[in-house]
Amino acid sequence: MSAITSNETTGSVKTTDNLKISQLIENELLKQNGKPFVSIEFYPPKKDVDIPKLFKALERLKAFNPLFADVTWGAGGSTSDLTMELCTKMKNEYNVVPNMHLTCTNVVGDKISKALTDAKENGITNILALRGDPPAGQDKWEATDLAFSCALDLIQYIRKEHGDYFHVTTAGYPEGHPNAMKVVTEEDGGLSSLSPSELKRYSTSKNKETGKEEILVCKDEDYKTELQYLKQKVDAGANCIITQMFFDVDVFLQFVDDCRAIGITVPILPGLMMIGNLGGFRRMTGFCKSRIPKELDEKLMAFEALPADSPDLKAKVKAFGIEYCVDMCNKLIASKKVPGLHFYTLNMSSTTIAIVEKLGYVSNSIKTDEA
């Protein structure tokens, strides 16, 4: 069963009202065809003129039967009204099951309460509960409402006030949460000081002030603490985990094994970010402190060494990014550890479509206009 079902009488599509992601995943698993479902994510555009573009991308991606579509929530609830409008329109006009992000960063309880009430009134039954990022221009996060200092508080509140009405998704961090990562200096012993498991998940980043490369890692004890916190969120009522983006499949698979080892049994969906352009990729991975495998980094540096006006450079980077993501997905599928593949679309459709088509997913529509 998909989030989208055919209407045999009219030829249109119809979404079953108020379906929860857990129900949809269970129905997908019953198919036992060995192929994970696809889910997608969008963010509220900063300009109203870009909203139609988002829905055009959704229309094209809908042809591949995404199980659900996430819509993010700006820091401090800055996009709360628009996020709600987008989710409602996805559900009512585009027949796609929405998964609405909800954060408690710089958000007072009344706003959270209203968001959940509005979601119920609009028939939105799926929430991704997050602490959230700092507001624009701030490096550190601070709680505005002392009742909500972390995602766990938000999940507990949802369950206390609304019982099992909502399917609740939470975030997972295969490399450890960025806030739990520490700089490893030469004085510390550098890479030689890391354990075998730390060597598999460390990342590198340039120091903003010195410009020098730094080694970042979530140390084993901190990683264990992060896993226990994730289990607390699941025990409090989270039904599913979607991970932070990653580019090392082995790190993700180890994360899944580590979760299972401590009793986390809910579905774990890999968050997949495509490599669209070099500058954007470096900024995003730097912000998230993502691990970039050596082979990937070397290929990207080879692109970066070329003159910016090199013929077809952007197209070559995009084509490489598609192939890299396809390879990641094939490894994830072969592992048989993922029920679905979750794509961060960046409000575009062509790259995601190119990837899923190469993976063998077939569109139910002949219309493939670019979004």
The residues annotated with a catalytic role in the active site are 41
For residue 162, what are its two tokens? 């609304």
Residues 22/24/28/29 CA torsion (nearest 10 deg): 20
Q: Are 98 and 126 in contact (CB under 8 A)?
A: yes
Q: Are 101 and 110 in contact (CB under 8 A)?
A: no
d(CA 288, CA 184) in angstroms, rounded, equals 17
Q: Are 15 and 7 in contact (CB under 8 A)?
A: no
Given the structure tokens 């659900």, which residue do they identify?
68
Non-local CB neighbours of 117 within 8 Å, separated by 6+ positions: none
Whether the CA torsion 136, 140, 146, 152 is positive or negative: it is: positive
- Residue 104's nearest CA partner among 72, 65, 142, 131 is 131
Phi, psi of 171 (to 5 degrees): -95, 145
Helix 350-358 vs helix 313-335: crossing angle, to nearest 10: 50
Non-local CB neighbours of 5 within 8 Å, separated by 6+ positions: 13, 14, 15, 16
